[in-house]
């Protein structure tokens, strides 16, 4: 799930480009039944354990597009995945992206991502052959196809997590930053990757002309954040939030409050764990074990957060409220684990999107309104 660590042991030679005019090479496209046409209703669980289902309605004629690149999740063998969507690709769409259909047309290409196998091998100090240009070239080709055949001057949002966010960071730098297309970009929401800026500045790192978003009605800008618990400051070996590049720092923008300061976070969490290492799967969401029938839950008032600097890292620090006894679960989890051990250097990386998902959806609507008002 981390881009900067996925260093290739060897690159594949002359891989055949994907044809993104083929429907089979997309997880999500408008006007069809696919990975995005799933039920995204939410069960809201109050602090006292009472529940209520909130219906989720897809936008009928959305005026903006959302283009999503998913994180490292493929269980395929080898360094790069194939182009067949398995359960893990479809699950991440349901968990991280399908909800954006409330405000966007949804686009999500399949790409030959770096695999979980490659990540684990690297972490064990035994890297396997991985083509780290292949995954970017696929995403770039899918993006160019979208621009040529689907965009037609529509405003868009780029969304990505971890590996996907890292690929989109490069895409913005090479294909959008300072170019006419930037005028159509509402924002690029890059969760769980290190986006660099000059210290104390909004620019001067990864992007020359694309600033950080600091107001909700700002467009043509970038959101970037990495997530840790407030009570667990990133250690010296943290994989996110810090850089050793002189005069640079890792950007942090809180989707719930771009201007800075603490704010409630509108989390939308999967009812059940989406991976063997993900701890969002409490035995029961309420003390009286109420039956939750939707695939996702919200926990109003449980989380708040703000961007902070501590121990040499910049990150979104997440605080849990004290909660009520005999009500809802006090801590749904979300830490990455290796066996019983919490990987403190990863923080709440697995929840980077889910911890602020409804804030992200709501923000797109505000940015779209601002963009429309700015048009001549």
Write the pLDDT tens digit of every residue in 10-62.
344 578 999 999 999 999 999 999 999 999 999 999 999 999 999 998 999 99
Q: Total structural domains in the chain?
A: 1
Q: Are 189 and 219 in contact (CB under 8 A)?
A: no
Region 78-96: mean pLDDT is 92
- Residue 274, classed as helix, strand or coil, is coil
Q: What is the pLDDT of residue 1?
A: 41
pLDDT in tens, 180-225: 999 999 999 999 999 999 999 988 899 999 999 999 999 999 999 9
Phi, psi of 137 (to 5 degrees): -60, -35
pLDDT above 80 for 340: no
Q: What is the pLDDT of residue 13?
A: 56
Contacts of 38 (CB under 8 A, 6+ apart): 93, 94, 98, 295
Residue 134 CA, distance from chain mean position: 21
pLDDT above 80 for 365: yes
State the pLDDT confidence band at 116, using cuts at 50, 70 and 90: confident
- b (16+ CB within 10 A) / e for 152-179: eeebbbbbbbbbbbbbbbebbbebbbee
pLDDT above 70 for 307: yes
In this structure, is residue 319 part of a structural domain?
yes
State the pLDDT confidence band at 5, using cuts at 50, 70 and 90: very low
Query: How many C-beta neighbours within 10 Å does residue 310 have?
Result: 13
Distance CA 347, CA 355 (A): 13
Region 113-124: mean pLDDT is 81
Q: The whole model's pTM is what? A: 0.93
In this structure, is residue 66 part of a structural domain?
yes
State the pLDDT confidence band at 260, using cuts at 50, 70 and 90: very high
pLDDT above 60 for 281: no
In this structure, is residue 17 part of a structural domain?
no
In this structure, is residue 314 part of a structural domain?
yes
pLDDT above 80 for 128: no
Q: Judging by beta carbons within 10 Å of its beta carbon (0-12, 13-18, 19+), is residue 238 exposed, middle or buried?
A: buried
Average pLDDT, the chain: 91
Residue 42 domain boundaries: 23-374
What pairs with residue 187 in β-bridges?
157, 221
- Residue 361, classed as helix, strand or coil, is helix
Which range among 107-111, 246-250, 340-344 shows the weakest confidence by mean pLDDT? 340-344
Q: What is the pLDDT of residue 194?
A: 97
In this structure, is residue 332 part of a structural domain?
yes
* Percent of the chain whose predicted confidence (pLDDT) is above 90: 78
Give the residue with greater pLDDT, 203 vs 315. 315
Q: Are 43 and 93 in contact (CB under 8 A)?
A: no
In this structure, is residue 182 part of a structural domain?
yes
The two tokens of residue 229 are: 């618990």
**Could you tell me the CA-to-CA distances from 309 to 79, 199, 250 in Å, in that order?**
35, 12, 10
DSSP one-letter code for 90: H
Q: Are 253 and 190 in contact (CB under 8 A)?
A: no
- CA-closest candidate to residue 72, choices 246, 264, 254, 278: 278
Q: What is the pLDDT of residue 12?
A: 44
In this structure, is residue 13 part of a structural domain?
no
In this structure, is residue 148 part of a structural domain?
yes
């Amino acid at each position: 799930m981390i881009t900067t660590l996925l260093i290739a042991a060897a690159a594949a030679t002359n891989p055949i480009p994907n044809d993104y005019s083929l429907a089979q090479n997309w997880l999500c496209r408008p006007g069809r039944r696919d990975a995005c046409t799933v039920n995204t209703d939410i069960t809201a669980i109050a602090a006292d354990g009472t529940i209520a289902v909130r219906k989720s309605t897809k936008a009928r004629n959305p005026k903006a597009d959302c283009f999503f690149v998913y994180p490292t999740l493929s269980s395929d063998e080898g360094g790069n995945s194939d182009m067949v969507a398995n359960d893990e690709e479809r699950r991440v769409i349901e968990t991280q992206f399908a909800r954006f259909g409330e405000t966007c047309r949804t686009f999500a290409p399949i790409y030959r991502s770096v695999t979980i196998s490659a990540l684990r091998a690297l972490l064990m100090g035994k890297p396997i052959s991985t083509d780290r240009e292949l995954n970017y070239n696929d995403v770039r080709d899918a993006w160019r196809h979208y621009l040529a055949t689907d965009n037609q001057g529509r405003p868009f949002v780029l969304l990505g997590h971890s590996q996907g966010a890292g690929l989109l960071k490069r895409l913005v730098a090479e294909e959008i930053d300072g170019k006419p297309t930037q005028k159509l970009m509402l924002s690029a929401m890059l969760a769980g990757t290190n986006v660099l800026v000059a210290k104390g500045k909004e620019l001067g790192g990864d992007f020359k002309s694309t600033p950080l978003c600091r107001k909700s009605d700002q467009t043509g800008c970038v959101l970037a954040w990495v997530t840790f618990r407030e009570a667990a400051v990133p250690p010296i070996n943290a994989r996110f939030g810090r850089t050793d590049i002189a005069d640079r720092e890792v950007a942090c923008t809180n989707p719930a409050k771009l201007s800075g300061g603490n704010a409630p976070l509108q989390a939308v969490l999967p009812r059940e764990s989406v991976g063997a290492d993900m701890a969002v799967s409490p035995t029961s969401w309420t003390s009286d074990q109420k039956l939750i029938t939707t695939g996702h839950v919200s926990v109003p008032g449980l989380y708040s957060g703000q961007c902070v600097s501590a121990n040499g890292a910049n990150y979104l620090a997440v605080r849990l409220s004290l909660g009520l006894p005999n009500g809802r679960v006090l801590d749904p989890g979300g830490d990455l684990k290796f066996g019983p051990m919490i990987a403190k250097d990863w923080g709440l990386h697995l929840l980077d999107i889910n911890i602020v998902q409804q804030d992200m959806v709501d923000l797109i609507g505000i940015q779209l309104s601002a963009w429309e008002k700015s048009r001549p």
